[in-house]
Structure 1
Amino acid sequence: MSGGHYCSVLVTGANRGIGLEMVKQFLGLPKPPQKVFATCRDPQGSSAQALKTLASKHPNLVILKLESTDEASIKAAAKEAEAHLAGNGLNLLVNNAGIMPPSTLESVTQEDMLSVYRVNVLGPMMITKAFLHLLTLAAKKSSGKELSCSKAAVINVSSIGGSIGNAPSMDTFPVVAYRCSKVALNMLTRCQALEFNKRGILCVALHPGWVKTDLGTDKAELTTEDSVRGILRVFSCLSEEQNGRVVDWEGRIVPW
């Protein structure tokens, strides 16, 4: 398991798949974070039952309502998280929420593309913006001088589908809107790294592997448990060297 220590972590899209598993494994660390914030669109709904069960067993888990396409919802979640942090910053923000509807070059529409961009690109952009002051505060309070996930970091969950240098074939990955959105997310990550470096905030895009989730399907190579175990190990090793780059769940650089 990861050797890193995080005082506070926030994971978006945490009610299922990789996000839920990430919350579970953070809570299961030998030294779990003092606060783990798990966001979802409907904390009271049946889709959040697994999170609610975890929260009943782990008092350091806080479930936040957050709709990534609604700026008011994002700001409200940031305000609530700030209250729970009680003067401390947020060490690690994982922008995990995303969608991958079917879309081929023949079938894709303008609205298909725009709806995916709203969730996969604008969502992480606006969420990071809303939590930036808390990330900055964590970096200032940290005794560490080097960039790291323990100090302050933004992780944008990306995909090999967004790689131009090693693009999967359209036969195996025919989701045009999703792929284009991840290219944009990778550039957003690079821009964030260039800008937030002076604040002491690490920014990295992460390919979690082809995972057996609602998005990855049952044909995928990895279980969520294996993917997240690798991801947490990578978190503990990220540094200035990976700032603004895309890495996978094993720490390898993904070609742009």
Structure 2
Amino acid sequence: MAGLNLHSVLVTGANQEIGLELIKQLLGSSNPPEWVFAACQDPAGERMQELQNLTAKHPNLVMVALEVTAPASIKAAAARVEAHLKGSGLNLPVNNAGIQKLNRLESETPEDMALVYVTNVTGPLLVSQAFLPLLKQAAQGSPQTGLSCSKAAIVNMSSEAGSIQNLYLWHLGQVISFCCSKAALNMLTKCQSLGYGGDWILNVTVHPGWVQTDMGNSDSIHAWKG
């Protein structure tokens, strides 16, 4: 975080796990953004207390309702963020929200495949589309040259599970829909880099490594596998 110089950043899935920790790191940095938008399904729902406490302490933190599988919710979130930014643009949306279903190859279902794909791939696509005008504003208004997260960038939270060469989750329980969705997310990011690079918007995927979360809990995966 130390090398970033951000005016504004938005994180989806911000109420727990990796998303919540990103919010904490941004707020606690030596040069915090002027605006940090914590996007989550229901800001007034369960498991929101910690994020609500942070909002009370940090006037630059704004909670935004955003359901990545609902286009209307995404558009409403973009409009609210735009109202806060007042023409300055959004530097950095982090597409962090994601889900997984613990299914093997022989037990995978169309319903789970569709739900995981729409959350992990279509969601980041729609979020990026909705916030693209604000990203272009940030890029055009930045004095920096080249591509940079401090200028304008889309960060998609991927996983090594999406690697076709190194499919390590196969030995931990397969997790078919999650692996397929992250491979597709990697391709989406490549397409975004080709489509948005001309507007000086950086597009990257991030593999955070194995993180001890509800989704990435090794004990739960091994228990399910065994």
**Shorter-chain-normalised TM-score: which range?**
over 0.9
| 2:32 is the alignment partner of 1:32 | yes
Structure 1 residue 173 displacement after superposition: 4.5
What are the within-5 Å matches in structure 2 for residues 198-209 of structure 1? 198-209=198-209
3-state DSSP of counterpart to 2:48: helix
Give the match for residue 124 of structure 2.
Answer: 124
Indicate if the aligned counterparts of 1:90 and 1:138 stay in contact, CA closer than 8 A. Answer: yes
| 2:35 is the alignment partner of 1:12 | no
For residues 174 and 13 of structure 1, the distance between their equivalents in structure 2, rounded to whole angstroms, comes to 24
Give the match for residue 57 of structure 2.
Answer: 57
For residues 186 and 170 of structure 1, the distance between their equivalents in structure 2, rounded to whole angstroms, comes to 18
Give the match for residue 251 of structure 1.
Answer: none
Structure 1 residue 46 displacement after superposition: 2.5
Give the match for residue 145 of structure 1.
Answer: 145
Give the match for residue 166 of structure 1.
Answer: 166
Q: Deviations over 1:73-101 (max 9, x none)?
A: 00000000000001110001100000011
What are the within-5 Å matches in structure 2 for residues 1-256 of structure 1? 1-168=1-168, 170-217=170-217, 219=219
Give unpaired runs (5+ residues) of structure 1.
221-256
Indicate if the aligned counterparts of 2:90 and 2:138 stay in contact, CA closer than 8 A. Answer: yes
Which deviates more from structure 2 when the two are superposed, residues 75-84 or residues 2-11?
Answer: 2-11
Indicate if the aligned counterparts of 1:159 and 1:206 stay in contact, CA closer than 8 A. Answer: yes
- In structure 2, relative to structure 1, the CA distance for the partners of 1:190 and 1:36 (3 Å cut) is same
Q: Deviations over 1:84-137 (max 9, x none)?
A: 001110001100000011111011011111110010000000000000000010
Q: Deviations over 1:142-161 (max 9, x none)?
A: 00111000000000000000
The percentage of aligned residue pairs carrying the same residue is 55
User: Which TM-score applies when normalising by structure 2?
Assistant: 0.95
For residues 173 and 199 of structure 1, the distance between their equivalents in structure 2, rounded to whole angstroms, comes to 41
RMSD across aligned positions (CA): 1.2
For residues 173 and 159 of structure 2, the distance between their equivalents in structure 1, rounded to whole angstroms, comes to 11
Tell me which stretches of 4 or more aligned residues in structure 1 moved more than 3 Å: none
- In structure 2, relative to structure 1, the CA distance for the partners of 1:102 and 1:59 (3 Å cut) is same
Give the match for residue 232 of structure 1.
Answer: none
Indicate if the aligned counterparts of 1:40 and 1:48 stay in contact, CA closer than 8 A. Answer: no
Q: Name the count of aligned residue pairs.
A: 220
For residues 126 and 58 of structure 2, the distance between their equivalents in structure 1, rounded to whole angstroms, comes to 29
Q: Deviations over 1:221-253 (max 9, x none)?
A: xxxxxxxxxxxxxxxxxxxxxxxxxxxxxxxxx
3-state DSSP of counterpart to 1:147: coil
3-state DSSP of counterpart to 2:171: coil
2:44 counterpart letter in structure 1: Q
Indicate if the aligned counterparts of 2:162 and 2:180 stay in contact, CA closer than 8 A. Answer: yes
1:86 counterpart letter in structure 2: K
For residues 101 and 19 of structure 1, the distance between their equivalents in structure 2, rounded to whole angstroms, comes to 19
For residues 140 and 102 of structure 1, the distance between their equivalents in structure 2, rounded to whole angstroms, comes to 43
1:97 counterpart letter in structure 2: A
3-state DSSP of counterpart to 1:37: strand
Give unpaired runs (5+ residues) of structure 2.
221-226
For residues 143 and 173 of structure 1, the distance between their equivalents in structure 2, rounded to whole angstroms, comes to 48
For residues 69 and 177 of structure 1, the distance between their equivalents in structure 2, rounded to whole angstroms, comes to 16
- Structure with bigger helix share is 2
2:105 counterpart letter in structure 1: L
2:26 counterpart letter in structure 1: F
2:88 counterpart letter in structure 1: N
